[in-house]
């Protein structure tokens, strides 16, 4: 099966995860892709293929004769898509020999334009795959799934020499649970790579430190005609909470290593209001300072309006993996050499987001991230190219080759 057909097959399986659920997987539909991938891995000849009760899909290739002494490499991609924009009934648009210009996204009224996405002209001549404007595409991270599967099929079909290879496709990465239940003993890798978005020449081993912040605000509702000095409008208090956060430290005003507070959802009335944030900072000290700011706001609001008015729930999601990965430079050096073999110059960029590799690195498995050539993730403008996914598969193969040196 070629890369394009694999990718299209995967994105048509609805696998959106869900927020605020503690079970894994958060949605039963993720099992649909787990089962499909296990079937495909068995059919291509991978061994010890296993789909567990949490929707993790494992597959292995034993070392070829003479390569048994090489370290086992793991490759990981996640099979879920974001919970807050539809991943159901994905209808990809396939544009062969793309001209680098505007692309109308179905009948949605949305248009993919170079003005908003300046990299588009660089994709001229490639086979572009977009959404129809009503869903995500699912390139995050089914492009990574397709690349890993294609690489494994090539290894088997060409009988290429290699050390032991471990593959795992994980659920719930988009909600921060993806690596939590990966069975490292079963996986058995000395080091691993997530293949999860970004430019093909990028190696990511610096992530945000990340937390979620949930606010519950309780008001006091009384007839507005007799409300003086009595009413506490929960929605207005929620607005006040947001106003106490620095306006310059929002995602739309930050870049590079700059952290942020991001309001992702709000609801409310006079009686009750809720706010949801994600909190991000590459620097550990800055991350702790952001959480202290939120706790200070909680204290201030409760002193101003009365105890119990505001309740803040903070939950750490993942930590910056740079410290753990940099203790194992070889995992980065292999990737650098693999990217150069593709004719590209490797670039180390901080991830302004998260990856399963962050949790795994802290669990003892060094795990930087590799690019897939996917763009504009988490929305209707998401797109990828067949050539980009093929390039990601080749980088995986190149890493496996370099591991024999």
- Give catalytic residues, as residue numbers: 80, 173
The bridge status of strand 202-204 relative to strand 369-370 is antiparallel
Strand runs labelled E in 16-175: 47-51, 57-61, 73-78, 93-95, 103-105, 110-112, 128-130, 165-170
Helix (H) or strand (E) holding 400: helix 386-402
106 token code pair:
């179905």
- Cα torsion 145, 147, 151, 154 to 10°: value is 110
Is residue 357 within 8 Å of 364, Cβ to Cβ?
no
Q: How far apart are CA 398 and CA 337, in angstroms?
A: 8
DSSP 138-175: -HHHHHHHHHHHHHHHHHHHTT-----EEEEEES-GGG
Q: How far apart are CA 275 and CA 372, in angstroms?
A: 34
- Residues β-bridged to residue 385: 128
């Amino acid at each position: 099966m070629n890369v394009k057909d694999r990718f299209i097959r995967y994105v048509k399986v609805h696998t959106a995860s869900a927020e605020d659920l503690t079970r894994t997987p958060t949605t039963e539909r993720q099992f649909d892709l787990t089962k499909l991938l296990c079937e495909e891995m068995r059919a291509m000849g991978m061994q010890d293929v296993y789909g567990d009760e949490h929707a993790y899909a494992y597959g292995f290739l034993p070392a070829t004769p003479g390569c048994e002494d090489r370290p086992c490499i793991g490759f990981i991609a996640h099979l879920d898509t974001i919970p807050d924009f539809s991943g159901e009934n994905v209808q990809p648009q396939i544009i062969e020999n793309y001209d680098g210009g505007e692309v109308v996204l179905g009948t949605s009224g949305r248009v993919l334009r170079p003005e908003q996405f300046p990299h588009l002209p660089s994709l001229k001549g490639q086979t572009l795959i977009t959404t129809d404007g009503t869903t995500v595409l699912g390139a995050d991270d089914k492009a990574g799934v397709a690349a890993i599967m294609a690489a494994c099929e090539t290894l088997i079909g060409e009988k290429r020499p290699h050390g032991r290879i471990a593959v795992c496709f994980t659920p719930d990465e988009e909600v921060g649970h993806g690596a939590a239940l990966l069975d490292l003993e079963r996986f058995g890798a000395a080091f691993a790579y997530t293949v999860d978005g970004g430019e093909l020449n990028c190696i990511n081993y610096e992530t945000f430190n990340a937390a979620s912040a949930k606010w519950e605000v309780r008001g006091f509702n009384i007839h507005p005609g007799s409300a003086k000095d009595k009413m506490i409008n929960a929605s207005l208090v929620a607005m006040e909470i947001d106003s106490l956060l620095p306006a310059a430290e929002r995602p739309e005003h930050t870049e590079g290593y700059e952290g942020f507070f991001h309001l992702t959802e709000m609801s409310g009335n006079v009686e009750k209001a809720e706010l949801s944030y994600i909190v991000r900072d590459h620097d550990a000290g800055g991350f702790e300072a952001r959480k202290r700011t939120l706790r200070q706001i909680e204290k201030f609001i409760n002193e101003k309006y009365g105890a119990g008015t505001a309740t803040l729930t903070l939950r750490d999601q993942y930590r910056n993996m740079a410290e753990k990965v940099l203790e194992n430079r070889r995992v980065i050096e292999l990737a650098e050499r693999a990217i150069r073999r593709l004719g590209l110059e490797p670039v180390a960029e901080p991830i302004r987001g998260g990856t399963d590799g962050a949790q795994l690195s802290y669990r003892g498995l060094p795990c930087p991230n590799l690019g897939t050539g996917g763009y504009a993730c988490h929305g209707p403008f998401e797109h990828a190219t067949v050539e980009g996914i093929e390039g990601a598969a080749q980088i995986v193969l190149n890493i496996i080759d370099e591991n024999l040196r």
